[in-house]
Chains A and B, each alone.
Chain A
Amino acid sequence: MDSFALDVAHLFAGSLVLVSFMLLYQDRMFSLLNIFALHAFVVSVSVAWQAHIQNAPHLYITAAIALVVKAIVIPIVLHRIIVRLGIHRNIENVVGIGQTMLGGIGLVALSIMVMLPITTAEGTLVREDLAFALSVILLGLLMMVSRRNAVGQVIGFMSIENGLILAATGAKGMPLVVEISVAFSILIALIVIGIFLFRIRERFDSVDLHALDRFRGERP
């Protein structure tokens, strides 16, 4: 593989981590959506590039799904839901942005330190793709725990999924990648429909066990 192809693949994977960081510090609902659309766009370009350099045409389908579903349809639908439910005020963060960013840097360092030493047998591209993918996954988890509202959590989850798609395409020749990305799209579509149908509002969307137990009267 020539070094140009490698560098471009690197560039896209690295930008995905960067956009993940950008997701962490958004405090407005609509800008969060825009950054997520960018996140999905970067992942689809990255997958398309992998399809090109790996000569794997089926990966173009995955790229197209990422582009159409996650970069276009879901942001638009979420935008409408937010307007309709009237929840477009600021996002509550559990911890401050400064600490979140520091935590994020720590997680990226951790994933590089974990992934690089144990994948020495693989090619450079696979190794660094995996390190980046793990960073994106961990940053997505961090985002999910640091947001109190349902939309923030859903976007965190979708960014985790983008990281997984990056990892799956990075693992050369992995079968079923397209099927898995379709399965994931169904999952996400259902989550989004769930938010809308069930009208999950700010107050009810915590996954905090204590709040729920208190609600049931199981705790004073």
Chain B
Amino acid sequence: MSDPGSLVVRAILIIPAVSAVLLAFLPDDRTTARLNVLGTLLTLICAVTLFLVRPEPGLFLIVDDVNVVFIVLNTFVGFTTSVFSGSYIAHELETGRLTHAYLRFYHAMYQTLMFAMNLALLANNVGLMWVAVELATLTTVLMVGIYRTHEALEAAWKYFILGSVGIALALFGTILVYLASSSVLGEGLEAMAWSVLVQRASAFDPALLNLAFVFLLLGYGTKVGLAPLHAWLPDAHAEGPTPISAVLSGLLLNVALFALLRFKMVMSANSGALAPGPLMVTLGLVSVVFAAFMLYRRDDIKRMFAYSSIEHMGIISFAFGMGGPLANFAGLLHMIMHSLTKSAIFFSVGHIAQVKGTQKMDDIRGLTVSHPLLGWGLVLGVVTIVGLPPTGIFMSEFLILTSTFARAPVLAVVLGLGLLIALGALLYRLNGLAFGDAVGSNAPSRASYVPLFTHLAVVLAAGIFLPPLLVSWFQHVAELLG
């Protein structure tokens, strides 16, 4: 286990863990914010080297076509968010919303969250993956409640209870998967290693796998935020610090969905098992349509984009539920594009809420006049997220819709309606937010624009050109997904 690949894998886990400990004990604010950026940057560099060296899969950790892109995405968004977080937190300290002690706690938790999410993505052992998702849930709960206002505590509590029940159900599903595999593979670690499970899944008892998948879908589905299991999501997004909303939407939902995908591959490798497609299609469609209508009734800007995340998670589940090489490919692409775009939107929303001093959309008007860069950043972000061409989101949604039209036109009509309704809601709101006469504070913003526009540029570039290596990985994963 001393080949360069496995060293890199260990570094991806050890750097955030060490940074978390350091940040918990270092007193000075300026250094801690920089150290936070440095920690995530080093992790990102290590993650990128995974494109070049790939370690042999072990019983606990694995790097394969399925997770390599997500690890890089995770560390990349972790890095850009830490840059954004630096300027966001400076403002929070000035206004006194956060004290120095809480700031130390915040940074330590940020790195712990990065560690947990990287571990969940790297884990080959399904039990280890569960522990990592649980750790990620705990750290985000603590960060959602960090402002200690009534609303923040309530949001954290709600997230805590629903999230805990979700992961409890997921654990039961994991135990059932172990039971199904241990009668074939024998007792021990092999029976929990995902790479072994996928190879031998055809011999597993299908009935046991079916039941296990129902529990896993409900459990991890709660963490993904699929309707009707989404109740925690808008509150957690609205009440926590905005960098956490960006990481929640951009990364944690993806991680939970990724865990679900690992199990879906096991299901599709077993010919006797129930097709997980219809379940995921139903949950996905319900989420899309429900969230699309809910978008009209929001008056808090962060809650609105939280509902938009529910909608997109619905689209992605729908795509994986439909299955087939094209829809799966589009689903994977959409996961990446949504993650980049939504975190970019939260970057701009975070600064907007800070300069305006409010999250109420009625009190925010004319952003392109008062804060041109932030305003146009938001406009670009929203135009991208609703799926207008030529961005990456347009491409993935177009692929999902066209491949569905070919196989199940009725479902495609419902999905298309949901997308249009959401588009209407977001553009209608955007019009009020970005244009017209400026209302509220005109104070200049010391925002960091680099993360925001980098994300948007990547999404735009992906709409025009996808690297062939990425395409070939995704095609392979799409095959495995069945």
Chain A interface residues toward B at CB < 8 A: 114-115, 117-119, 121-122, 126, 130, 133-134, 137, 141, 144, 150, 153, 157, 160-161, 164, 167-168, 171-176, 179-180, 183, 186-187, 190-191, 194, 198, 200, 204-205, 207, 209, 212, 215-218
Contacts and interface: CB of A to CB of B under 8 A. Distances in A.
Contacts of A160: 165, 168
A207 B179 contact: no
Given A171-B175, A179-B127, 19 more contacts: A115-B211, A130-B176, A130-B179, A133-B172, A161-B168, A164-B175, A167-B175, A168-B171, A173-B182, A174-B175, A175-B125, A175-B189, A183-B134, A191-B160, A194-B156, A198-B145, A212-B154, A216-B300, A218-B303
Contacts of B153: 198, 200, 204
Contacts of B131: 176, 179-180, 183
A196 B273 CA distance: 46
A173 B187 contact: yes
23 contacts: A118-B210, A118-B211, A119-B179, A150-B157, A157-B161, A157-B164, A160-B165, A173-B182, A174-B178, A175-B188, A175-B192, A180-B130, A186-B138, A187-B134, A198-B145, A198-B148, A200-B157, A204-B150, A204-B154, A204-B157, A207-B231, A218-B298, A218-B303
B399 to A, nearest CB: 34
Interface residues of B, number: 51
B128 interface: yes
A175 B60 CA distance: 11
A159 to B, nearest CB: 11
A176 B125 contact: yes
Contacts of A172: 182, 187
Contacts of A144: 161, 165
Contacts of B407: none
B297 to A, nearest CB: 7
Given A118-B211, A179-B131, A207-B231, A171 B182 contact: yes
A208 to B, nearest CB: 9
Contacts of B179: 119, 122, 126, 130, 171
Contacts of B303: 218
B65 interface: no
A121 B211 CA distance: 15
A102 B198 CA distance: 41
Interface string B200-243: 00000101101100000000000000000001000100000000
A55 to B, nearest CB: 12
Contact of B157 (A161, A187, A194): A194
Interface in B84-137: 125, 127-128, 130-131, 134-135
A153 B299 CA distance: 31
What is the predominant secondary structure among interface residues of chain A facing chain B? helix
A134 B127 CA distance: 19
Interface string B341-384: 00000000000000000000000000000000000000000000
A160 B157 CA distance: 18
B22 interface: no
Contact of A153 (B125, B134, B161): B161
B158 interface: yes
